[in-house]
Amino acid sequence: MAKRVQVVLSEDLLNLGKKGDLVEVAPGYARNHLLPTGKALAVTPSVMRQVEHRRAKEAERQEALRQAAVDFRTALTTIGRFTVKKQTGGDDVLFGTVTNGDVADAITAATKKEVDRRHILVPEIHRTGSYKIQVKLHPEVTAEINLEVVSH
């Protein structure tokens, strides 16, 4: 049985890996497809140095994104409370519900910074009052904000 060879991917390949990954493949697959089409590079010391350099840069970038998310979480908790105005009927019951888009608009209005509405977890809100809302700012950073739903 032939041994496996290592190559560094030059682009994202489905079921194999992402650009810059070091993967082991069959020698024929590397020799006949990946290397001639430029989808992978043979492993050499200089290529490995480039891969390590890219990984270090990506780690720095991810840490900067995480730190920015932590700073934004601090800003959100400093603001304290966000307000959403909705039309109500009798007994403070809302016409409709408060959506994650409404919460995203309230955060954007208060902080002048966009928050993706898909990362906001809103419980079912059908009445006026105070609610706790979770906002995922980064895979490792989640903020909890206070939302005040008032009648307008």
Q: What is the pLDDT of residues 23-72, one digit of tens each?
A: 999 999 999 999 999 999 999 999 999 889 988 999 999 999 999 999 99
Instruction: Answer yes or no: is pLDDT of 1 > 60.
Output: no
Domain range 68-151, CATH architecture: Roll (3.10)
Task: Tell me the pTM.
Answer: 0.74
- Say yes or no: domain 5-62 is CATH 3.40.5.10: yes
- Helix-then-strand count for the chain, H and E: 4, 7
Dump pLDDT digits (tens) for 5-24.
999 999 999 999 998 899 99
Decide: 2 and 9 in contact? Cβ < 8 Å.
no
- The CA R_g of the chain, rounded to the nearest whole Å, is 25
* 5-62 and 68-151, same CATH topology: no
The closest alpha carbon to 98, from 75, 123, 132, 73, belongs to 123
Domain boundaries, the chain: 5-62, 68-151
